[in-house]
Amino acid sequence: MPCKRYKNKRSIMTNKNPFDILRKEHDKVLKILDNLESNLNKKDINQSKNNINLLQKEFNKHSLNKEEKVLFPEIEKFMPREGGPTGMMIIEHKDLTESIDMFSNERDSNKLADIGNHIINLLREHIDKENNMLFMMAEMHLDNKQKEIIIKKFKGIDLKK
Ligand SMILES: [Fe+2]
C-alpha cells in the first residue's frame, strides 16, 4: 500500500513539472532533425522542406512562445537576461528563426545542405544546453506556484494552434 501511494503522488508531481513538458517537446524536435539530416543526405529537397515546415511550427510554439514568453521571464526574476543564459538562448533562437526562414526560401541544393546542417548542429547543441544547464538551474529556483502558473500558460499556447 505505501508503495502505491508513493507511485500516485509521484505521478501527480510529474504532471506539475513544466520541464518534463519542454523536454518531451525537445525529443520531438530532435526526431525532426534526424529526419531532416537523413533527407538532406539523400538530397531529397521535397521531404527536407516538409521537415523544415514541421520544425518551424514546433519551434514557434515551443521556443518563441513557451520558452521566451512564459518560462524565461520567470527565470529572469532570479537571473538577469543580459549576460545570462536566457540572453544567450534568445540570441540562438534568433539565429535559428532566421536560418529556418532562409531554408524555406532557398532552392539551391548546396545552399540548402549548408543552411540545414547549420540548423541541425546549432539546435542539437542548443537543446543540450537547455536540458542540462538552463532547466536544471531553473528547476532549483522556481517554486511550485510558479511552475503551476507556467503550466497553465503552456496550456493556453497549445489551445491557440
Ligand atoms: Fe527549448
Concatenating the DSSP letter of every residue in the chain gives: -HHHHHHHHHHHHHHT-HHHHHHHHHHHHHHHHHHHHHHHHTT-HHHHHHHHHHHHHHHIIIIIIIIIIIIHHHHTTTS-STTSHHHHHHHHHHHHHHHHHHHHH---HHHHHHHHHHHHHHHHHHHHHIIIIIHHHHHHH--HHHHHHHHHHHHHHHHH-
Measured in Å, residue 22 CA sits from the centre of ligand 1 at: 6
Any domain includes 12: no
Structural domain including 97 reads 20-160
Band of residue 11 on the pLDDT scale cut at 50, 70, 90: very low
Measured in Å, residue 8 CA sits from the centre of ligand 1 at: 28
- Reported as a single tens digit per residue, the pLDDT across 129-139 is 999 999 999 99
The cell numbers describing 104, all together, are: 524555406
Calculate the average pLDDT of the chain: 92
Measured in Å, residue 23 CA sits from the centre of ligand 1 at: 8
CB atoms within 10 A of CB 37: 18
Q: Which CATH number is 134's domain given?
A: 1.20.120.520
Any domain includes 94: yes
**According to the model, what pLDDT value does residue 1 have?**
47
Q: How many structural domains is the chain composed of?
A: 1
